[in-house]
Structure 1
Amino acid sequence: MIEVRELVRRYGDHCAVNGLSFTAEKGKIYGFLGPNGAGKSTTMNMMTGYLAASSGEVRIDGIDITRQPEKAKERIGYLPEIPPVYPDMTVREYLMFAAALRKVPKKDRKNAVSELMDRTGITEMADRLIKNLSKGYKQRVGLAEALINDPENIILDEPTAGLDPEQQKEMFDYINALKKDHTVILSSHILSDVNAVCDSIWIINHGKMVASGTPEELAQMNRPNGAYEIEADGTREQLEAVLKAVPGVIRIDWNADGAAIVMTDTDADLRGTLSRAVFQAGMTVLGLARTKKSLEDVFLALTADETKPAHEANPAHEMNPASAKDGDSSVADGKEEA
């Protein structure tokens, strides 16, 4: 379990994270969603102990990461957006090195590395230099390193960045398999990623939590009173005139396929009323469906109005945990440029 309470991180006058609070429990995948510069990576760096919070608290399985950092970090597996791997090591050498740093008992290291290479599909790359691997395989090596000591809490920052569709599917399949025995948090600004794999979603903007819930709950919360897509065999002018006369209809838009998008001011289901009106006007209904907002619609509604350009909202520190003064001696430290 990961508990975050009133977390704040400031860079001078800029507040990158502003009072975030949430709890992540075992058996679920949580998605951190927000535009570039929203504070996702800064929050993850504080959760994993790579960056000190200005104020607030992070507890990993009840352990305060500020007061007992070494003990707390033993319970976290972290995959940054750019895996901090040594390019001149082979995959096997690097994972053996990571196992030693993560305090895996010496007698268990060889088996742990072999098992993780098999689980992440990199066994055939075991004796290749990491610098010669594709982006997808480097991501797998980074994931194997994050899991080398079998931590209960897994934090993944943009785990599918740069992967092709097949590699993305493989990564998601593996992440889904992890949730049975782990707490999993992943960060992304790609909405399809989050919607595909997450049980619960946190949307943040300018360092603040603006919404949280399941994908279905978020869509329902932000759904318009009523929206319908309707196709008929009449002309656009005929159909628009009929639909505008239906009580409750406030606007008619048109999509690229020529279907009418009917916006209403009521929660009542108007499908029957709309279809009867079209039929009585001498037209045939070719298609009628009530529409719902997608996660993309929700995201844009919650963040678009206030989102700043990335160069204003994303200080260099946010993507560079190695710049923090409170870093530990774990595998990721000091190798961000490798």
Structure 2
Amino acid sequence: MIEAQGLSRRFGSITAVDQLSFKLKPNGITGFLGPNGAGKTTTIRMITGALAASEGSVLIGGKDSFEEADALRGRIGYLPERPPLVPELSVKEQLGYVAAVKGVQVDDSLAERCGIQEVWRQLQGELSKGFRQRVGLACALVGSPDLLILDEPTSGLDPHQVESMRNLVMELGQDRTVLLSTHLLPEVERLCEHVLMIHQGRLVADESLESLLEAHQGSLQDAFLTRCGFAESEP
């Protein structure tokens, strides 16, 4: 179980995240939505333990994600929008490095599962955007984490690569908890069972996709615009 309790983060006088509380159930994909500047990236950094909360906490299996970051390192996988791959390393070397940091072994099936066998010994500086995303995902999956956080995983991919990545994400959500941060509403409608939505650092939706659509005439766009205060008022 992943649980945020009264999670807040301030930068000087600015409150980026304001009293977020939510739970992510084991297995399944939760969409994480919000306009630019809503606090999604800050929230993700606190979940991964990269940033301390000003107030509140994130508990992963009962352990504080920041205070016990070392113990949780192998249980969290994170794919940022731009994977931090070392251009001078081969794909094999990159995954070996990540495994060493996490204190685990590289699963032999990872290359096949992520579709990177053909570039296994290639330098990462020579990879296409699609393969960089796949290698980044493979790095996130090293150690078979319980929680997988994906930040815009299909950004910059061509239509074929988008379809391939979405199918892979759907498969991954069957045996782990996936938090999918994206601006693409159709992606959420296709992949997610549950939706978290934040605006100005505050939680404005925490419900199943089905109930959210029911409340907004079947339109996730309407739900997003209304909950985030962008819907035009009636004359």
TM-score, with normalisation over the residues of structure 1? 0.66
**Partner-residue secondary structure (3-state), 2:111:** helix
Q: What amino acid sits opposite 1:21 in the alignment? A: S
Partner letter of residue 17 of structure 2? V
Percent identity of equivalent pairs: 45
Q: Is the 8 A contact 1:156 1:186 kept in 2?
A: yes
The answer to whether the 8 A contact 1:79-1:157 is kept is yes
Please point out which of 161, 168, 180 is paired with 1:167: 161
- In 2, Cα distance between the equivalents of 1:66 and 1:135? 31
Work out whether 1:133 is the aligned partner of 2:92: no
Amino acid aligned to 1:149: G
Letter in 1 for 2:160: E
* Aligned-residue offset at 1:66: 2.8
8 Å CA contact 1:152–1:182 kept in 2: the answer is yes
- Kindly report which structure 2 residues correspond to 1:211-250, keeping only aligned pairs within 5 A, or say none: 211-222=205-216
What is the aligned partner in structure 2 of residue 104 from structure 1?
104
Aligned residues: 231
1:7-156 alignment to 2 at 5 Å? Answer: 7-105=7-105, 109=106, 112=107, 114-156=108-150
Distance 1:103 1:189 in 2: 34
1:65 and 1:73 in contact (8 A); partners too = no
Q: Cα RMSD between the aligned structures?
A: 1.4
Question: Hey, what does 1:320 align to over in structure 2?
Answer: none
Answer yes or no: is the 8 Å Cα contact 2:38–2:200 preserved in 1: yes
Question: d(CA) in 2 for partners of 1:26 and 1:176?
Answer: 15
Counterpart Cα distance in 2 of 1:158 and 1:41: 11
**Distance in 2 of aligned mates of 1:216 and 1:98:** 37
- Post-superposition shift, 1:304? 4.0
CA distance in 2, matches of 1:66, 1:27: 22
Q: Which amino acid aligns with 1:71?
A: A
What runs of 5+ residues in structure 2 fail to find an aligned partner? Answer: none
How far did residue 214 of structure 1 move? 2.0
* Alignment deviations for residues 28-67 of structure 1 (CA, whole Å, 9 cap, x no partner): 1001011111111110000001111111111111111233
Q: Could you tell me whether the CA contact under 8 Å between 1:219 and 1:294 is conserved in 2?
A: yes
Q: Corresponding residue for 2:178?
A: 184
Per the alignment, residue 284 of structure 1 pairs with none
Specify the SS of the correspondent of 1:173.
helix
Normalised by the length of structure 2, the TM-score is 0.94
Say which SS state the counterpart of residue 74 (structure 1) adopts: helix
Give the deviation of 1:141 after TM superposition. Answer: 0.4
> SS of 2:56's equivalent?
strand
2:203 to 209, 214, 224: 209
DSSP 3-state at the match of 1:87: coil
Spell out, residue by residue over 1:297-327, the C-alpha distance to the aligned partner (whole angstroms, 9 max, x if none).
1111121439xxxxxxxxxxxxxxxxxxxxx
Q: CA deviation at 1:149?
A: 0.8
| Distance in structure 1 (CA, Å) of the matches to 2:157 and 2:23 | 29
Contact 1:39/1:206 (8 A) holds in 2: yes
Tell me if structure 2 keeps the 8 A contact 1:26–1:179: no
Q: Distance in 2 between matches of 1:5 and 1:168?
A: 34
1:73 CA drift (Å) = 2.4
Task: For residue 79 of structure 1, report the CA deviation from its aligned partner.
Answer: 0.8
1:299 corresponds to which of 214, 224, 232: 224
Tell me the distance in 1 between the aligned counterparts of 2:67 and 2:136: 27
Mapped contact 1:5–1:20 kept (Cα < 8 A)? yes
Does 2:187 correspond to 1:193? yes
State the alpha-carbon separation in 2 of the partners of residues 300 and 33 from structure 1: 11
Write the letter of the residue equivalent to 1:171: M
